[in-house]
Amino acid sequence: MNTRDEKGMTEIVKKISKISSLLMFIFGIYVIVYGHITPGGGFAGGVIMACSLFVLVIANGKGYLAGVFKKGLFSKLDALGASLFAGIAFLGFLGGSFFLNILPKGKPWDVFSAGMIPLCNMSIGLKIFASLFAGFIAITAAKIVKNEKKDGMIYSNEESC
Amino acid sequence: MELYIILIIMIIGSLVAIKTRNILSSILSIGLVGLLLCVAFLYLGAPDIAITQLVVEVVVLIVMLRATINKNIIIIDKTLCFPAIAMVVFIIGFILIFFHRAISDLPEFGRPLMPVSGEYLLSGLEKTGAANIVASIILDFRAYDTLGEATVIFVAIAGAVVLLRKKGKI
């Protein structure tokens, strides 16, 4: 990688990215919470929340978020979201069957309505946010080993294709 | 009519993405195709999937740019010989014949095959309480599908992280 990836962009871009990433994060939460009323939902909101962190990483360089979060936090959040979604599904057994909507429906067009659908949206959003950011970290932090030979087989991408 | 113009521009963009020699312009043409697909979804009246398409397209563009921009990509520029071209034309023609028979069996546009989807649209609000009909379908009537999708993403990201990590890499 070249030095621009390590140091990031100029000071103006860094400052603006810090402000705008917060707004993007809040907008992602809005899209998730209102997912059962307006277009959007868990998947789109989770991707928007992950985008807000992508902006920070791209503007400030690769190592910017390395010290902020604990190691393995995002894989844990990923697993937490997936198990929350499955747990909500199993909660339906209290009423009789898998994925049954047992909570009260409420009034339409309210934020707290539609029973378990907002909860499903939130768990999916958490899962998508954590998993996309973990994948992005894995892609940007990985280095390609060039022309390394072991046991006579070529493991590098450049030579094998 | 607008939809057909968008589709034609999308086809041109994907052809440019295949044929161009520059990796940056190839990625940008793929981005053009994805964003026009988002506009096409808006014309068809599907804002949910248009939002998802737009956001995912932006993420995919960022990841593709970061993954490819400073790498030496080998471009294969061998031209095909005549038997290979004849083979390709034969296979594509063979596929097109069956494709024509398949799409002539499809139901009319906006007229779904399953009567149960009309039931979803009629009674979605009172049965689930969700004002967004898409949310009520994907998270209540068809929640098994969403559980399967979540599992697919979980497995895909876990596989990608395992393949890309430094420790224990072969």
ipTM: 0.74
pTM higher than 0.95, yes or no? no
Report how far residue A103's alpha carbon sits from residue A105's, in angstroms, rounded to the nearest whole number.
Answer: 6
Cβ pair B47:A39 closer than 8 A: yes
For the cut 90, the answer to whether the pLDDT of residue A26 exceeds it is: yes
Asked if A127 and B51 come within 8 Å (Cβ–Cβ), the reply is no
What is the residue extent of each domain of chain A?
3-160
Q: Is the pLDDT of residue A48 over 80?
A: yes
Report B:94-133 residues touching A (Cβ under 8 A). 125, 128-132
Query: How many structural domains comprise chain B?
Result: 2
pLDDT tens over chain B, length 170 residues: 888 899 999 999 999 988 887 888 888 999 999 999 999 999 888 888 899 899 989 888 888 887 777 666 666 667 778 888 899 999 999 999 999 988 887 777 777 777 777 888 888 777 777 778 888 888 888 888 888 888 898 888 888 877 776 655 44
Domain range for residue B8? Answer: 1-70
| Residue B6 contacts A, CB cutoff 8 Å | no
For residue A97, the distance in angstroms to the closest alpha carbon of chain B comes to 12
Distance CA A141, CA A134 (A): 10
Among A residues 14-53, those touching chain B with beta carbons less than 8 Å apart: 31, 35-41, 43-44, 47-48, 50-51
CB B136, CB B124: distance < 8 Å: yes
Asked if residue A155 has pLDDT above 50, the reply is no
> pLDDT value at position A142?
53
Name residue A149's beta-bridge partners.
A154
Rounded distance, CA A155 to CA A149, Å? 7
The pLDDT of residue B15: 92
Residue B81 within a domain: no
> What six digits make up the tokens of A26?
């809040």
What value does the mean pLDDT take over residues A4-31?
Answer: 84
Residue B78 counted as domain residue:
no
Residue A115 — pLDDT band, cuts 50, 70, 90?
confident
Q: Are B67 and A1 in contact (CB under 8 A)?
A: no
pLDDT at B72: 65
Q: Which residues of chain A lie closer than 8 angstroms to B134, CB-CB? A: 39, 41
Burial class (CB in 10 A: 0-12, 13-18, 19+), B138: buried
Nearest to residue A54, comparing CAs of A94, A25, A78, A75? A25
Sign of the alpha-carbon dihedral angle for B106, B108, B114, B117: positive
Of B129, B144, B164, the CB nearest to A114: B129
pLDDT at B95: 95
- Whether A72 and chain B come into contact, CB under 8 Å, resolves to no
Predicted confidence at residue A159, as pLDDT, reads 27
Query: Computed from CA positions of residues A59, A60, A61, A65, in that sequence, does the dihedral angle turn out positive or negative?
Result: negative
Confidence of residue A1 (pLDDT cuts 50, 70, 90): very low
Q: What is the pLDDT of residue A11?
A: 86
How far from each other are the two terminal CA atoms of chain B, in whole angstroms?
53
* Confidence label for A158 from pLDDT (cuts 50, 70 and 90): very low
Give the pLDDT of residue A160. Answer: 25
- Cβ(B164)–Cβ(A138) below 8 Å: yes
SS3 B107: coil
pLDDT at A130 exceeding the cut of 80 = yes
CB B55 within 8 A of CB B38: no
Residue A149, helix vs strand vs coil: strand
Q: Is B57 among the domain residues?
A: yes
Point out the residue among B63, B140, B154 whose CB comes nearest to the CB of A136.
Answer: B63
- Residue B97's pLDDT is what? 93
Task: Report the gap between the CA of A23 and the closest CA in chain B (Å).
Answer: 16
The pLDDT of residue A54 is 86
**CA distance linking residue B156 with residue B153, whole number of Å:** 5
Determine, yes or no, domain membership for B163: yes
Q: Which two tokens stand for residue A38?
A: 């307006």
Q: What are phi and psi of B22, to 5 degrees?
A: -95, 130
If you average pLDDT over residues A147-153, what whole number do you get? 42
- Cα–Cα distance between A109 and B94 in angstroms, integer? 52
